Structure 1
Amino acid sequence: MNTEQARFNMIEQQIRPWDVLDASVLSLLAVVKREDFVPAAYRSMAFFDTEVPLPNGQCMLAPKIEARLLQELEVRKHERALEIGAGSGHMAALLAHKARQVVTLESDPTLARLASENLKRASVTNVSVMEGDGSKRLPTAGPFDVILLSGSVASIPQNLLNELKVGGRLAAIVGQEPVMNAVLVTRVGENEFKSVNLFDTVAQRLVGFDEPSRFHF
């Protein structure tokens, strides 16, 4: 496989047509080597338009989903970012090139180690990988300028929204199969949040987040 041609094709044929037009995001996708964050057994899938399997039944988001969420968050160099669901560390690496500091939480110890190793190998030094359940009390202090949920949830927990600074943004994939919505929430005041639906998609559930009751009375 011609890796650079495959990367070019991913950017031009998958990502750009998905309204990812921010030049800084597109150039970053050429800098951060996605294939270095993919398990060896699935290296050939690194540039496919699909989720890539990770250990313990987890997966990486599809390239166009990662790129679009990164673009919509409009991360700035002075900002502090929190990711829920480190996975392989790839999304944290992308955030790290945009932000001053990134904290990425991973509830699976195997994936936390994988993300740490991948980030170290890629010489990404401004990311802290922490084991923790992002649906519960955070093991690190906020507030944050940017929060990204790298997976889907039935609804966004209020405790995460409360970790945003005023002016901060949170991106998540919300809802139930077969159709979910990528959502961008901005904290516009101390007790005021503005939510915008970005696009329809489907993504694997983040571990530990509550599901709605199936019973209605």
Structure 2
Amino acid sequence: MDYSALRRRMVESQLRTNKITDDAVLDAMGEVPRELFVPRALKSIAYLDEDLQIAPGRYLMEPMVLGRLLHLAEVKASDQAMVIGCGNGYSAAVLARIANSVVAVESDAALAQKAQELLVDLGASNVNLARAPLTAGYPAKAPYDVILFDGAVQQIPDSIVGQLAVGGRLVAVLQADGPGRAILATRTEAGLSQRVVFDCSVPSLPGFAKAPSFVF
């Protein structure tokens, strides 16, 4: 298959038509070979606009949602970024072409190993793969200018918010009751401001469910 043609089609029909105008994001997603990050049986549909399973309970986020989140984050070439739940490394590989450096956090040993191999093969030397609990982030390299959650979460732990630099941007899909909502949170000297930008639905990352509340 002509994967380069499929990438171009993805950029033109899925990204540009959905309010993604950041050239750095469009270029990065048009360059990273998404087909390398999916199981062999799914390579022919690697560029469909849908979530693709890469391991039990883990998925590549659909291209449009990933692209819009990165667009919202306004990633600059000088930024240090962190990906929470990088899976086998696709989102980190995309971010690596935009940001100065990327910390990719993954708790699953097999996925982390695959991510390391793929990122090395792609020459993404500015990515540091961190094997750690997703809810902990990676404070050793904080603060981060950009934090991306590579999957839906019900809540964002304070431990991760605290790793965001002043002026930093955090993007995620919050999904509890009802439809998921993509949010942009920005840290200022006064605290954290947050706004909902668009509705979407993507598979959840493990470990970010809200604790059940007590009901009489």
Aligned equivalent of 2:170: 170
The TM-score with structure 1 as length reference comes to: 0.93
2:154, 2:176 within 8 Å by CA — same for their partners in 1?
A: yes
2:24, 2:98 within 8 Å by CA — same for their partners in 1?
A: no
C-alpha spacing 1:105/1:206, structure 2 compared with 1 (3 Å): same
Cα distance in structure 2, aligned partners of 1:143 and 1:150: 19
Cα distance in structure 1, aligned partners of 2:62 and 2:105: 19
Aligned equivalent of 1:145: 145
Q: Return the offset for 1:4.
A: 2.6
Cα distance in structure 2, aligned partners of 1:203 and 1:45: 17
User: RMSD between aligned alpha carbons?
Assistant: 1.6
| Structure 1, gaps ≥5 residues long | none
- Tell me the alpha carbon deviations over residues 120-173 of structure 1, each in whole angstroms, 9 at most, x when there is no partner: 111110001111112136363311111111111111111111111110011111
Cα distance in structure 2, aligned partners of 1:44 and 1:177: 34
What is the correspondence of 1:175-214 to structure 2 with a 5 Å cutoff? 175-176=175-176, 178-189=178-189, 191-213=190-212
Give SS of 2:97's match: helix
Cα distance in structure 2, aligned partners of 1:57 and 1:186: 29
What is the correspondence of 1:123-162 to structure 2 with a 5 Å cutoff? 123-136=123-136, 138=138, 140-162=140-162
1:132, 1:139 within 8 Å by CA — same for their partners in 2?
A: no
- Tell me the alpha carbon deviations over residues 72-111 of structure 1, each in whole angstroms, 9 at most, x when there is no partner: 1111111111110111211101111111111011011011
1:177, 1:202 within 8 Å by CA — same for their partners in 2?
A: no
C-alpha spacing 1:85/1:45, structure 2 compared with 1 (3 Å): same
| Structure 2, gaps ≥5 residues long | none
Cα distance in structure 2, aligned partners of 1:139 and 1:26: 30
Cα distance in structure 2, aligned partners of 1:43 and 1:106: 23
1:107, 1:207 within 8 Å by CA — same for their partners in 2?
A: no
Q: Return the offset for 1:178.
A: 4.1
Cα distance in structure 1, aligned partners of 2:42 and 2:193: 39
The TM-score with structure 2 as length reference comes to: 0.93
After TM superposition, where is structure 1 displaced by more than 6 Å over at least 4 residues in a row?
none
C-alpha spacing 1:101/1:135, structure 2 compared with 1 (3 Å): same
Cα distance in structure 2, aligned partners of 1:153 and 1:207: 8
Aligned equivalent of 1:114: 114
Cα distance in structure 2, aligned partners of 1:71 and 1:100: 16
Specify the code of the residue in structure 1 equivalent to 2:99.
A
Give SS of 2:35's match: helix
Does residue 35 of structure 1 match 2:35?
yes
